[in-house]
Amino acid sequence: MKILVVAEMQLGKLKPSNRATIRMAQDLAAQNGGTFSMMLVGHQIGDAASELNNFGAETLYVIDAPAFEHYLADTLTDAISKLVKEYGFDRVLGGEATTARDFFPRLAGALDAGMCRGVCGLTQVDGSTCYQRPVFSGMALRTERIHTPIHLITVDPTAMGEPDAGGAGEVVPFDAGVSANEGVQFVELQRAASERPDLSVADRVVGAGRGIKSADYLDTIGKLADKLGAAVGATRAVVDAGWLPNEFQVGQTGKAIAPKLYIAIGISGAVQHAAGIRGAKTIVAINKDAEAPIFKIADIGLVADLFDVVPQLIENL
Amino acid sequence: MKILVTVKPVADPNTPPAAWIESEQGKSGSVNYVANYFDLIAVEQAIQFKDMGVDDICIVSVTDESKMAQVRSAIAMGANRATLIDPEDRKLGAYQLAAAIAHVVKKEQPAFVLMGKQATDDDASQVGPILAGILGWPQATFVSQIEFNDDKSRVKVGRETDEGVEVLDVKLPAVITCDLRLNEPRYATLPNLIKSKKAPMERLKFSELGIDENPRVTVEGYSLPKGRSGETKMVADASELVATLKEMKLVD
Ligand SMILES: Cc1cc2nc3c(=O)[nH]c(=O)nc-3n(C[C@H](O)[C@H](O)[C@H](O)COP(=O)(O)OP(=O)(O)OC[C@H]3O[C@@H](n4cnc5c(N)ncnc54)[C@H](O)[C@@H]3O)c2cc1C
């Protein structure tokens, strides 16, 4: 078994989710008495490559070229596909995210390989490793078996622990032979500037729902988040209303998060939202409707008007 | 201009998970089907492009006759015709679905393919990019804004990503998958539903397409996720909440 971890950059830094992917690679390698390698793609990524090279990988392939300054599924797929074929990798792992959700299946098409998305566990069925992943808005778990020689896996970053530290692997620059692609051109990234922690990996998250009534109240929600050193997340209702941009959305079609503390404020707890917070350690719900479904998944509940409670929390925390 | 739009009938997302699992395992048939919501967004987008010179919208669906009503509801939104591929009782995985759709794409040579970004049952989000990979076409996934350039040889799209809205300029033909905020799908009216019965419908069988029959991925079983702790501790007011959070060492 030859395992390859596709590590990723995000806004000039290593993505935190790489760590969960490396953890799964270490588990797979241990089960099979083998090793794993990693690859990192980008432009001028020497420092990030050194930072990444601390987990006992055999080899770290570095693809450093101007064509990879911005993430693009088409060019990245060509590069990985070439590396996989040249070195004969048969397990390719990445971190579940909007990038991997975009390029991994393209790779599956290009390599005619089976893929499992958002794998949260490994399990043995009749002596072979199968993959567990959430389906149906996270309301069910499915065990899947891949039959092709190459397995493509994206790993749910909220489901795996930290990787073991280890030695540095041999650094091998790899020429992917990919130049800028005329078919797809990067224009820009529209992103709201924020001083708060990154929602995907924050230890504490304050979630805002339609109950806050207007965008104006986000100032108060923000004050609570800052008191807690928390990130702000939101339901689809809040994003659809244009109160926050889409990267704040938590749920089936937004981010899946696993903070130690999630405070849901004015959120009903629809299955699609619940799908994104299942990994949270402690869920606190503040809602004036005692029947709201959020109380079924909350660890701590407070039935009250959020406009009374939130200022009191800011005051008392 | 011709566009292909894919539509998958899926179990109603409000189906209790245990019932859904039973129906997936062929143990009961008591599940309601609906057209995948993200696919309806794709259909809506195709219809909105009618002002831009799109005059042939073909729905492609891999489905058996029992779920025709769901496909018809999508046609009745305003599509011209449909191509149906009967899986002939096979449980097809993402790769085989994409290969079947690729077969139709190669024959029809559309200007582009519009799809939902994921199906709400499998939540795999794979068929679109696999299709692009098979065809070697450019792809743009999770699209929430889309506009043509002047000569309609390219589209500018906004993609919903973890980092923000990513704007790409994409050459056609391409595979484009649609996200929630692209539009609000219209409802099919009753007269259109009746008219849709007359829409031309090509029927193919999966076994006739020359696609490798061996599945790439199979389902080995299902389980229900471990529930959360179960107990919800109810507190009376903000100060009891703060005290509880402090006691549990969740805040300093
Ligand atoms: C295909 C699909 C995908 C989806 N994906 C997602 C997703 O990824 N993420 C997501 O979040 N949603 C998603 N949704 C939408 C989801 O179904 C819900 O509509 C949404 O989560 C509701 O958001 P909400 O809880 O903010 O609003 P509501 O459901 O309107 O809830 C508002 C809550 O606020 C409470 N409230 C009102 N005023 C007060 C007050 N003064 N004090 C205290 N409480 C108050 C109310 O009691 C209510 O419970 C998806 C839907 C579909 C169809």
pLDDT tens, position by position, B161-192: 999 999 999 999 999 999 999 999 999 999 99
Work out the number of other CB atoms within 10 angstroms of the CB of residue A262: 27
Q: What is the pLDDT of residue A182?
A: 86
pTM of the model: 0.93
A292-308 pLDDT, tens digit per residue, is 999 999 999 999 999 99
Q: How far is the CA of A238 from the centre of ligand 1 (A)?
A: 8
Taking an 8 Å cut-off on Cβ atoms, the answer to whether B221 and A143 are in contact is yes
- To the nearest whole Å, the CA of B5 is away from the closest chain A CA by 19
Q: How far apart are CA A61 and CA B204, in angstroms?
A: 45
Residue closest to A168 by CA, chosen among A251, A246, A57, A262: A57
Domain ranges of chain B: 2-226
Q: What is the mean pLDDT of residues B226-239?
A: 86
Mean pLDDT of chain A: 95
Q: What is the pLDDT of residue B30?
A: 80
Amino acid identity of A178?
A: V
| The two structure tokens encoding residue B208 | 């006739």
Substitution target in A246, A262, A296, A314 with the highest count of B β-carbons within 10 Å is A246
Q: What is the pLDDT of residue B26?
A: 86
A133-155 pLDDT, tens digit per residue, is 999 988 999 999 999 999 999 99
Instruction: Kindly report the three-state secondary structure assignment for every residue of chain A.
Output: CCEEEEECEECCEECCCHHHHHHHHHHHHHHCCCCEEEEEEECCCHHHHHHHCCCCCCEEEEEECHHHCCCCHHHHHHHHHHHHHHHCCCEEEEECCCCHHHHHHHHHHHHCCEEEEEECEEEEECCEEEEEEEECCCCEEEEEEECCCCEEEEECCCCCCCCCCCCCCEEEECCCCCCCCCCEEEEEEECCCCCCCCCCCCCEEEEECHHHCCHHHHHHHHHHHHHHCCEEEECHHHHHCCCCCHHHEECCCCECCCCCEEEEECCCCCHHHHCCCCCCCEEEEEECCCCCCHHHHCCEEEECCHHHHHHHHHHHC
Substitution target in B36, B125, B235 with the highest count of A β-carbons within 10 Å is B125
Q: Which of A236, A240, A247, A296 is the best mutation target for the ligand 1 pocket, counting ligand atoms within 8 Å of the beta carbon and taking the most? A: A236
Is residue B105 over pLDDT 90?
A: yes
Give residue for tokens 């259109």.
Answer: B192
Closest-approach residue (CA) in chain B for A317: B242
Q: Which residues of A touch B242 (CB under 8 A)?
A: 313, 316-317
Q: Which residue has the higher pLDDT, A29 or B229?
A: A29
**Any chain B CB within 8 A of the CB of A113?**
yes
Residue closest to B117 by CA, chosen among A156, A276, A102: A102
B112-143 pLDDT, tens digit per residue, is 999 999 999 999 999 999 999 999 999 999 99
Q: How far apart are CA A56 and CA A169, in angstroms?
A: 6
Strand partners, A172: A61
Q: What is the mean pLDDT of residues A52-70?
A: 96
Written out in words, the top-level CATH class of the domain with range B2-226 is: alpha beta
Closest-approach residue (CA) in chain B for A237: B181
Q: What is the mean pLDDT of residues A26-49?
A: 95
Is residue B29 over pLDDT 80?
A: no
Strand partners, A261: A204, A282
Q: What is the mean pLDDT of residues B184-206?
A: 95
Q: How far is the CA of A187 from the centre of ligand 1 (A)?
A: 33
Q: What is the mean pLDDT of residues A177-197?
A: 88
Q: What is the pLDDT of residue B227?
A: 72
pLDDT above 90 as % of chain B: 94
| The two structure tokens encoding residue A253 | 């079609």
Written out in words, the top-level CATH class of the domain with range A204-316 is: alpha beta
Q: Which residues of B touch A189 (CB under 8 A)?
A: 161, 163-167
Q: What is the pLDDT of residue B47?
A: 97
Helix (H) or strand (E) holding B191: helix B190-196
Q: What is the pLDDT of residue A279?
A: 86
Q: What is the mean pLDDT of residues B19-44?
A: 92
Q: What is the mean pLDDT of residues A22-31?
A: 95
Taking an 8 Å cut-off on Cβ atoms, the answer to whether B162 and A200 are in contact is yes
Q: Which atom of ligand 1 is nearest to the CA of A306?
A: 42
- To the nearest whole Å, the CA of B103 is away from the closest chain A CA by 14
Between positions 281 and 310 of A, the ones with CB within 8 A of B are 282-286, 295-304, 308-309
ipTM of predicted assembly, 2 dp: 0.94
- To the nearest whole Å, the CA of B199 is away from the closest chain A CA by 32
Q: Are A231 and A203 in contact (CB under 8 A)?
A: no
Q: What is the pLDDT of residue B102?
A: 98
Closest-approach residue (CA) in chain A for B161: A98
For A12, residues 6+ apart whose C-beta sits below 8 A from its C-beta are: none
Q: How far is the CA of B12 from the centre of ligand 1 (A)?
A: 18
A207-231 pLDDT, tens digit per residue, is 999 999 999 999 999 999 999 999 9
Q: What is the pLDDT of residue A162?
A: 94
Q: Which atom of ligand 1 is nearest to the CA of A253?
A: 8
Q: How far apart are CA A248 and CA A16, in angstroms?
A: 17
A84-118 pLDDT, tens digit per residue, is 999 999 999 999 999 999 999 999 999 999 999 99
Q: How far apart are CA B78 and CA A228, in angstroms?
A: 50
Q: Which residues of B touch A191 (CB under 8 A)?
A: 163-165
Is residue A189 over pLDDT 90?
A: yes
Give residue for tokens 């820009």.
Answer: A188
Q: What is the pLDDT of residue A178?
A: 85
Q: What is the pLDDT of residue B9?
A: 96
Q: What is the pLDDT of residue A34?
A: 87
- Closest Cα to atom 51 of ligand 1: A272
Report residue B229's pLDDT band, with 50, 70 and 90 as the boundaries.
low
**Cα distances (angstroms) measured from residue B63 to each of A151, A228, B21, B35, B104:** 27, 50, 19, 11, 14
Q: How far is the CA of A274 from the centre of ligand 1 (A)?
A: 10
Closest-approach residue (CA) in chain A for B93: A114
Query: Residue B130: which of A109, A116, A136 has the nearest Cβ?
Result: A109
Domain ranges of chain A: 2-173, 204-316
Is residue B92 over pLDDT 70?
A: yes
Q: What angle do CA A291, A293, A298 make, to 5 degrees?
A: 105
Taking an 8 Å cut-off on Cβ atoms, the answer to whether B231 and A299 are in contact is yes
Q: How far is the CA of A276 from the centre of ligand 1 (A)?
A: 13
Q: Which fold has domain A2-173?
A: Rossmann fold (3.40.50)
